[in-house]
Structure formats: structure tokens, C-alpha cells
């Protein structure tokens, strides 16, 4: 479907489910962006879930979002269980405003929901010549190191910076070795999963996808990745007033209440300390790209390059909508 | 040797090599702390190196350190090639001061050197009820993903927070799969190294320690760890005015000039958004510790617990000084 046809359709659906025009547009843009960068797990496949949660009022369609000013640099947002896209959009915009004014912005958000891709918000800050760090937690998916039970979310770590070129440097990385969707696909096709990404229900390493589904996913790099996931849970949950320690509900399965996810946005001017920051980062990237390469590697890419390329290519094409999602669209429109 | 005997000895050595009493004490305390937490690679084994660099003036014994105030929250420090311990001590203290005043501190340091353990500085901030994030770069040790040549340092990521108990939560993690010292030991003893931690000089995975020494160490988690190392290089080098993109000199091997390492200290009040932060983090840790455990694991530990335990235990004992370091001490005293 052409983007310009899909966009009003999605806006209509969100409005039908109670969002105002502004919030419907923000949510639509985020979903379409996810499709264009190829992050389908954050795109249209979630539309029905969002609408179901709006229907059941575990996402508040008419939130009263409060922005509390703590200082010129620091703000605290209570998103009143709004759809995550809107809370995050307000969060990053406030963080940008604060950094533009004082050099640095720190914005904590509580009572939010799943907001899609951290990198999408990071891009907004980077376009304003800011460096940004973004943290959010998520429903249990990964076992803390030494544990037999999932508790941490895939808790992404996101870092963005201007790159001295039009393609921003955006690292947006999960701390999980593998995502659950991939294990599900492997189980369905009777395929093995890689070594070291999951444990069975007894806590033994397994490459059997079915056994992994009954067990837990592992964090990257053992104790270190587990520590990073814990850090994200603290920064986005404990600090902000959001849920933490495994209490964020799965948006697909648990309609017993709002998610109360927390987010943290840190922003600061890239040229705070060096006027020629853009030149310096450009030089940094150039030197790394010139290193001798492992056989089969044609280019050393910085984080965000692949996503940018996919976005550019896909923006020229129609968006491919699988049958199951077409059906969702029809139902949600009626 | 008893700590109270070792301490004046080290101060004497540093003073003999040109440091003033204050700088000698700061440097001594950092070295002894590294010994006590069991990070011997950052302890007495580096004393001779520091003295050699002071002798050759590639560490400036009498630095004129300038602190530039950019705002109440933001400072830029030119450490004038001081010994790293002193630059980092001034850096974290300034970051603490800024955060105490405005809620948040951002301090960039340039023209510094190796400062030992990030966690040592994080502890200072955590004791003042601040959350802190600390970044520093280091000489080339790790190959960017897809490259055949080391460029990133072991570039630690450090995060510290009050934990609601006397043992601080301090994550201080390298982004390298293995440290070079361990590969050296394995090569000497004709032992294998684990799968997936290094490449040979042709870029092929190897478990042969000798081949790994001729090749490169790998970042944790492939592209993701490589991205994290790159982030640290940007935050501590590109942003601050320090060296970056592989230009930090090896302190042991390269006396052709100062290292010009950069550091970044971010600090903010833990109770900015939630008055009961200490209770919240205590609850978070309690829930995670109660999870069912993998067989053989008796306790799920948070980052910093092991180090704290070693510190407490070792503080009661004498510090064991290997013969080779005893010899260093004798030479450096004369």
C-alpha cells in the first residue's frame, strides 16, 4: 500500500479508538517509520494491540499529560497512561528544548507505554545537533545472570550523535542475545537456535528452540549484559516512578492494567566542549572506516547506517502489508 | 606489606618523581584501592610505568589544570597532561559539586591519562546520593566489528547508583570479551582461549592464544559491543577534546608523548523524580535476588557486590607484593 494512502487510514483507526487528531498522527508516524526502517516487530503488527488496549482503557485515549519543571534542564512527565508514542514524543521534545536552553536536558517519563524504537526519538535530537542517550524498560524477557526466570525486558540502550554527515550515528541495541520472535519461528520450523542464547527450564544451556521457549533468553555477554539490563531498569523504572523489577505488563497478553513504563531522555549540545565537533566525529568515522577488513566485509558501518539505507529505499516503495494485518485493518476500520 | 606502611612509601615515590604531596596522595590512594578490590592490573603493577612517564615528562608532574565553567551544571577541564588519577579526582569532584547545586552535572576532561578504575570515582558520587555514568577511552585493544585491526580501547562503561544499602551498585564493565593479559598468560602456558573472543591475523576465529596475540580481541556481542565501544570513544574522546580513533598511546610502550585521554562524568541526584528512590532501588534489588536460581548459583549478585566484599576482606590483611614489584619499589625509592 502506498504510504500516502496508509497514513490517513491509520490516523482514522487511531481516532476511531479515541485518540485526538494530534495523538493519532504522532502514533501513525511512529508505526510507519518502524515499517520503513524494517523493524516490523514495532510496526503494523502492533496496531491491533494498541487498539485493543485503547478499547479496554489500559491505554488512556484522552490522557492529561503533566510536565513538571524541576529546573531549566530537568523535567518530569506524568504521561497519565497515554499511548507510549505520545509520551515519548513529548519527552524528547522537552529534552531538546531544555538542552537548547541550558546545554543539557534530563527528562524522566512515568506512566507511559511501549513507544516503539528508541532510535526514532534519538533522531529528533540528533537533527538539532544534540547528543542523546535514551533508556526504556519493557516486559520480562531476559533472565538476570544466575537466575532461572525472566525479569528484565530487552531494555534497549540507545545513543545518538551527529556524525558530520546526513546519516546520523544511532546505536539502538537490545541487551538480549536473541529476540523471542526468532525462537518462536525456529521452534515452529524445527530449527536449532545458536549456542549460548537461551537456557531450558532447568537452567541448562540449550539449542533446542522448544526447550528455550519453556526456559529463558540470556543477556548479551553474561554478567556484563545482565548488569546493563539492570542499569536500564533502574534508569527508566526506579528513577522515573515507572514500573520496574519485572512489573511491566506484556502489552499483548495482559490487559489487567496500564503498563506504566518509564523512559529517560538525556540530551546535550554536541559542541559544548569542542566547537568543531562535527569535523572531529567525521574524522573519527573516516579513520575507522579505513581499517583493514575481515574477509567478506566490504565496509565497516557505524550504527544507524543500515537503518538509514533501508528507510531511504523503502520510502520510495509501497509498504507490503501481510494478509493477517490487512484483516486487522479492515476490522479496526469497522 | 601493611597498608599503613605501603602508603607513605608510595607517596614518597610519587613525590620523588615530581608530584606535589596532594597529587602523590591521590595517586597512592587510587593504586592501593585497586589492590584492595583485586584489580591488580590497575594497581602496583603500573607504578613503575607512571614513574617512567613522569621521568620522561609525558606525564606532567606539575600540571596547571584549568577548570572552565560552561554553566552551573557543565564544566570542561584541561588537565594539562597530569597523571590521570588527579584529573579524574578533580573531574568527579566537580561533577558532584555541579549536581549538588543544580541537580545534574556534566564534566568533560581532556589532556588526561590512564586513571585506573572508573568504579573508584563512581563510588565518590554514589556516596553523595548521586547516580553517575562515567566514560573513558584507552589505547587500542579491540577491533571494530568487521575490522582486522584493533582500534577501540577496552573502553569501560561505568554506571553507579545508591542501592539503599551500604554496598553501592557499581557496574564497571569493559566492552572487550577478554583482556590481553589473560591471552598472554594462556600463550605462555600453552593453553587454549575460549571460543569467540579473538581473531587470528587473517581475521579467522581462533582459540590458539599465540595466534590471538598476533590478531585482535573481539568486542562483547559483535556489532552491539562494537557500537558500545564506539559510543565510549565518542563520549570520552571526540566530545571532550581528547585523543580518539585509536590515537591514545599505550602507556607502557609509547613514550613519544602524552596520552591525552578524555573522560566524561555525568552525575545527577538519585531522588530528582522520586523522593523515595532509596526504598525503590532496595525493593528492586530484593525482588531480583529472590528469583529462582540456576543450579550452582547461591546468590544473584548486583554489580559491585563482589568488589565491595574483596575490599572489606583485603583491607584487614597485608597487601601481597610480588617479588618483581618489590624490586620496582626499591629502584624507584633510590
- CB contacts under 8 A, A 233-252 vs B, are 233-235, 237-241, 244-246
Alpha helices in B145-297 (DSSP H): 180-188, 209-214, 223-233, 277-289
The Cα–Cα gap between A3 and A10 comes to 10
Beta strands in chain B (DSSP E): 66-69, 74-78, 104-112, 130-136, 157-161, 169-173, 198-199, 216-217, 261-269
ipTM of predicted assembly, 2 dp: 0.96
Q: Would you say B75 and B43 are in contact if contact means Cβ atoms under 8 Å apart?
A: no
Average pLDDT over residues A240-251: 97
The Cα–Cα gap between A266 and A160 comes to 10
The Cα–Cα gap between B173 and A225 comes to 9
Tens of pLDDT, residues B148-159: 999 999 999 999
Task: Quote the pLDDT of residue A48.
Answer: 95
A166 is written with which cell numbers? 546526513
Q: Note whether A272 contacts B157, CB cutoff 8 Å.
A: no
Q: Using CB atoms, which residue from A71, A110, A272 is nearest to B103?
A: A71
A297 contacts chain B (CB < 8 A): yes
B181 is written with which cell numbers? 593479559
SS3 B91: helix
Q: Is residue B203 predicted with pLDDT exceeding 90?
A: no
Residue B213's pLDDT band, with cuts at 50, 70 and 90, is confident
Q: Is residue B51 predicted with pLDDT exceeding 90?
A: yes
The Cα–Cα gap between B16 and B47 comes to 13
Average pLDDT over residues A209-235: 92
Structural domains present in chain B: 1-55+321-334 (1.10.1530.10), 62-176+219-303 (3.30.1370.60)
**Residue for grid cell 590515537:** B247
Q: Is residue B179 predicted with pLDDT exceeding 80?
A: no
As a whole number of Å, the CA-based R_g of chain A is: 20
- Please report residues of A whose CB lies closer than 8 A to that of B291: 143-144, 147-149, 151
Q: Note whether B245 contacts A103, CB cutoff 8 Å.
A: no
Q: Would you say B195 and B207 are in contact if contact means Cβ atoms under 8 Å apart?
A: yes
Q: Using CB atoms, which residue from B151, B157, B177 is nearest to A291?
A: B151
Q: Testing the interface with B: which of A227, A242, A268, A307 to mutate, by most B Cβ within 10 A?
A: A227
Q: Would you say A106 and A137 are in contact if contact means Cβ atoms under 8 Å apart?
A: no
Tens of pLDDT, residues B37-47: 999 889 999 99
* Distance of residue A204 Cα from the nearest chain B Cα, in angstroms: 8
User: Packing angle between helix A47-55 and helix A323-333, nearest 10 degrees?
Assistant: 30
Q: Note whether A144 contacts B70, CB cutoff 8 Å.
A: no
- CB contacts under 8 A, A 97-156 vs B, are 102-104, 106, 108, 110, 131, 143-149, 151
Task: Quote the pLDDT of residue B222.
Answer: 87
B276 contacts chain A (CB < 8 A): no
Average pLDDT over residues A293-300: 94
pTM: 0.96
Q: Is residue A179 predicted with pLDDT exceeding 80?
A: no
Q: Note whether B266 contacts A266, CB cutoff 8 Å.
A: yes
The Cα–Cα gap between B280 and B301 comes to 17
A219 contacts chain B (CB < 8 A): no
Q: Testing the interface with A: which of B146, B202, B206 to mutate, by most A Cβ within 10 A?
A: B146
Average pLDDT over residues B264-285: 98
Average pLDDT over residues B134-145: 94
- Name the residue among A227, A226, A146 with its Cα closest to residue B292: A146
B85 contacts chain A (CB < 8 A): no
Q: Is residue A124 predicted with pLDDT exceeding 80?
A: yes
Q: Is residue A196 predicted with pLDDT exceeding 90?
A: no
Amino acid at each position: 500500500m502506498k504510504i500516502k494512502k496508509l497514513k490517513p487510514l491509520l490516523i482514522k483507526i487511531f481516532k476511531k479508538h479515541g485518540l485526538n487528531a494530534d495523538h493519532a498522527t504522532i502514533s501513525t508516524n511512529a508505526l510507519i517509520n518502524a515499517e520503513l526502517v524494517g523493524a516490523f516487530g514495532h510496526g503494523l503488527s502492533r496496531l491491533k494491540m494498541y487498539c485493543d488496549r485503547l478499547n479496554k482503557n489500559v491505554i488512556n485515549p484522552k490522557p492529561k499529560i503533566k510536565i513538571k519543571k524541576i529546573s531549566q534542564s530537568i523535567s518530569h512527565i506524568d504521561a497519565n497512561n497515554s499511548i507510549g508514542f505520545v509520551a515519548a514524543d513529548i519527552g524528547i521534545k522537552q529534552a531538546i528544548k531544555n538542552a537548547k536552553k541550558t546545554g543539557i536536558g534530563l527528562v524522566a517519563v512515568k506512566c507511559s507505554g511501549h513507544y516503539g524504537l528508541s532510535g526514532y526519538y534519538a533522531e529528533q535530537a540528533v537533527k538539532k545537533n544534540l547528543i542523546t542517550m535514551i533508556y526504556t524498560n519493557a516486559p520480562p524477557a531476559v533472565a538476570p545472570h544466575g537466575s532461572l526466570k525472566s525479569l528484565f525486558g530487552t531494555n534497549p540502550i540507545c545513543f545518538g550523535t551527529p556524525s558530520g554527515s546526513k546519516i546520523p550515528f544511532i546505536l539502538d541495541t537490545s541487551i538480549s542475545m536473541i529476540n523471542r520472535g526468532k525462537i518462536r519461528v525456529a521452534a515452529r520450523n524445527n530449527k536449532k537456535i545458536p549456542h549460548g542464547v537461551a537456557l531450558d527450564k532447568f537452567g541448562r544451556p540449550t539449542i533446542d528452540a522448544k526447550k528455550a521457549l519453556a526456559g529463558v533468553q540470556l543477556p548479551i555477554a553474561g554478567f556484563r549484559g545482565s548488569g546493563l539490563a539492570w542499569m536500564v531498569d533502574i534508569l527508566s523504572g526506579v528513577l522515573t516512578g515507572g514500573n520496574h523489577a519485572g512489573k511491566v505488563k506484556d502489552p499483548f497478553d495482559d490487559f489487567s492494567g496500564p503498563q506504566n513504563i518509564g523512559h529517560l531522555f538525556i540530551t546535550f549540545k554536541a559542541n559544548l566542549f569542542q566547537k568543531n565537533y562535527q569535523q572531529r566525529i567525521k574524522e573519527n568515522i573516516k579513520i575507522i572506516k579505513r581499517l583493514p577488513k575481515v574477509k567478506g566485509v566490504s565496509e565497516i558501518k557505524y550504527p544507524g547506517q543500515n537503518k538509514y539505507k533501508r528507510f531511504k529505499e523503502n520510502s520510495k516503495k509501497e509498504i507490503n502489508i501481510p494478509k493477517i494485518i490487512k484483516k486487522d485493518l479492515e476490522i479496526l476500520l469497522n
